[in-house]
Amino acid sequence: MKPRSEHLSRRDVLSATAALAMASSVATAKPPVKNSYNNALWYKQPARFWEEALPLGNGRLGAMIFGRVAQERIQLNEDTLWSGGPYSADNPEAYAALPEVRRLIAEGEYKAATDLASQKMMGRPLSQMAYGTLGDVLLTFEGAVKPAQYERRLDLATAITTTTYSNGKGHKVRREAFVSSPDQVVVMRMEGKSPDIGFDVTWRGPRSVQIPGPVYAGHDAKLTPPVTTDWIMTEPAEPLPEGVALASDGAGAILCTGRNEKGDTIPAALTYAFRVKILSDGQVTFQDGRLQVRGAKTVTLLIAAATSFVNDHDVTGDPVARVRQQTAAAALKSYEALKRTHLADYQPLFQTVTLDLGHGAADLEPTDQRVQKAATTDDPGLHALYFQYARYLMISSSRPGTQAANLQGIWNESTTPPWGSKYTININTEMNYWPADPAGLGVCVEPLIRLVEELAVTGAKTARAMYNARGWMAHHNTDIWRASAPIDGPMWGLWPCGGAWLCNSLWDHYDYSRESALPARLYPLMKGASLFFLDTLIEDPKGRGLITSPSLSPENQHPFGSSLCAGPAMDRQIIRDLFAHTIVCGQLTGEDGGFLAQLKQTHDRLAPDRIGQAGQLQEWLEDWDAGAPEQQHRHVSHLYAVYPSDQINVRDTPDLIRAAEKTLAVRGDMATGWGTAWRLCLWARMGEGDHAYRILKDLVGPQRTYPNLFDAHPPFQIDGNFGGAAGIMEMLLQSWGGDIRVLPALPSAWPTGEVRGLKARGAFTVDLAWRDGALTTCMLKGTPGQTARLIYRDQKKTLTLGPDGTARLTV
């Protein structure tokens, strides 16, 4: 797959090339200083494409920094800038059609069931709203020429990008950028050796960028190879979008105001604003619609952005007042003070976990070069970097008080992003949060809890309108307006377990953190999701237990030309977990025992998992797997029970584990980015470390990872980054079924290493070290007197934490 061009005109390309052509051999930049944790991405050239730019974020504001010399591009996002406005897509005809759809499915009339569901049961409108972009702030530098020396990098330990080069006068120029959570602004600092920094600030508004469609396993997803003129220069100016105003705001600032995009039939409801303020020792003026800086030695650029979004049913906020206040407050501080505050906020989160998997010569190579070689060489430092990068992305895209991380986290350059950059809750949103708690970032789960709380309100209306059921539910997608009706057509959208899976994710968060206040917050959500299934589960006509209908196995077709079916394996597995978790949560909160007893009885009547004639774990209630049209489908939905659940495991269900292995062998190791990451997690959970490692190498290689380490579905989806990090941890530490498993899937390629700060269920913190493939250190931290069951190889031991809250495993 080749990314789109940067839409340069021929004239721009020719003039840029003539002025600033540079051979790719500009290799005078020195590699970053080697550190024990390998926490830097670095490059010898600026970003040509968006997938090469470096992401910054504070959970709410996102910025992509390109590091260009002649014209820096800062692409901006604000996490509440979505199309449309408050709406409901519930279909009033759905419930009347439900019995007939169920009958047709039961009688094997799948096409007729699909046709009827398409006409009567789908949401109106049939698609949800899309996450957008604020466009680009462009800094066009006067007198720019080919630099003698160039380097750009992202330091994960500080969440700061730096771009350094020597300008045409031989003077060193340095740019630093970060997005501050305490001060809620994007900050860029420019420093030179003499007062010769000069540039114009303009804005290019949101636009629909043509992004290549999905490319699946076996296709070439590599970017265009480097060429000898790979410096990106001035991009053409574009007129402001209709209804957008850009004007001087006084005191070296510009203010932009506008309205979001409409989405299908839903009118645009949000207004947005951003303000750019410049603090400099040079001259700052406004003329011809742009800020101009001349004769500066130091420049601090502050960018604030906001929308009128208050919540999913209130859009009466004042974004202009917010951005004025934020930039004004930040401008009262020195750059050094802004940076100190940023580091004091960010570093305590990032520093909770360190990982060292070993080092080699590749540590000193630019990141893009390492990715190109990753699938065919061993580069343990890159794997550690990939893991820490995912933690960095989590901190940067999901913080308390922000929106949850969507399909692209918070980074998106288009008003028409892939799949709307929504919340796809049949795997992708849940996968986003797989690494949060075990990687020491449980605080980042708070936005997901709020998303589910808000979705439960709209989902209760959908449950009543579509199914005449109590409680709440959601189908396979939602957006910022918390839409819960089925979309995209019945073959993808008529799946009733999105809300249930989200509840299971929230329970995992409790199981890791054991925060005493969480059960009271989670129980109403879990009870509501359980009530829906108490009202909607039906008896299998063949007497195999309780099942869902209509449903599907995301997003796969069975052999009869449809996805619609009754009782797919994933549904039964998710509901089994939901009921079990709700029972425990209800006991913790003092719920009436009668309801919990009913839930237990229903739990025990759910249809069990089944093994097919080929020895595979059945994806459907019937043995249809061999006839399915996509034998290597990206989803492995029926393996939910292996990971992230533990219903099927190597300890208790060996026959089902063998069936799961058979399924994975047929599915293949390579899929979409996130599909590959899920396979990594599954093989690691089953203790197959070397197999998991082979998948990890492919995941981090050029087919599934872009030069900036973004996951390539392709195109970019962030869930592959998060799923990959979860898989790396699963190779080193597992906690399920009441046990903590130490180095359960350690690959032979990581013979020596160390990890500190991983979390295990039960609120344990675990530090590990190993040498020559054998454990040397295992330290547990937690509450004094707490007990833990540990398994290392064939050794099982129960440890009791001492008065200092620690215990050490001796082997």
Cβ proximity of 420 and 129 under 8 Å: yes
Helix, strand, or coil here: 82? strand
Among 306, 200, 310, which residue's Cα sits nearest to residue 257?
Answer: 306
Whether 346 contacts 159, CB under 8 Å: yes
Rounded average pLDDT per 10-residue block, the chain, 811 residues = 32 30 31 55 94 97 96 97 96 97 98 97 96 95 86 97 87 94 98 91 86 39 38 61 83 91 84 96 91 96 98 97 97 98 98 96 94 96 98 98 98 94 97 98 98 98 98 98 96 97 98 97 98 98 97 97 97 98 97 93 98 98 96 96 98 98 96 97 98 98 97 96 98 98 98 98 98 97 97 95 96 82
For every residue of 632-661, which 3-state class applies, written as one string? CCCCCHHHCCCCCCCCCCCCCCHHHHHHHH
- Into which CATH architecture does domain 10-83+130-351 fall? Distorted Sandwich (2.70)
**Alpha helices by DSSP H, 542-650:** 569-589, 593-604
For 410-484, where are the alpha helices, taking DSSP H only? 428-432, 446-467
pLDDT at 142: 87
Domain formed by 96-123+413-647, architecture: Alpha/alpha barrel (1.50)
- How high is the pLDDT of residue 5? 33
Stretch(es) of the chain classified as CATH 1.50.10.10: 96-123+413-647
Alpha helices (H) in 468-556, listed in sequence order? 490-493, 498-513, 518-536
Q: By CB neighbour count within 10 A (0-12 exposed, 13-18 middle, 19+ buried), where does 101 fall? A: buried
Q: Three-state DSSP class for 684?
A: helix
pLDDT at position 743: 98
Residues of the chain with CATH 2.70.98.50: 10-83+130-351
C-alpha dihedral (433, 435, 437, 441), degrees to nearest 10: -90
Interatomic CA distance for residues 582 and 599, integer angstroms:
8
Asked if 658 contacts 611 with a C-beta cutoff of 8 angstroms, the reply is: no
Print the SS3 string covering 763-793: CEEEEEEEECCEEEEEEEECCCCCEEEEEEC
Q: Which residue has the tokens 């004091």?
A: 344
Pairing of strands 739-742, 733-736: antiparallel
pTM of the complete model:
0.93
Is the separation of the CB atoms in 791 and 737 below 8 Å? no
Within a 10 A sphere around the Cβ of 783, how many other Cβ atoms? 11
- Which tokens sit at 465? 């309108």
Beta bridge partners of 784: none
Sheet holding 271-280, edge to edge: 40-43, 150-155, 160-166, 172-180, 185-192, 298-307, 271-280, 253-259, 245-248
pLDDT in tens, 345-368: 999 999 999 999 999 999 999 999
Please tell me what DSSP assigns to residue 44.
S
Structure tokens at 736: 């399920």
Residues forming a β-bridge with 248: 254
Specify the pLDDT at position 18.
30
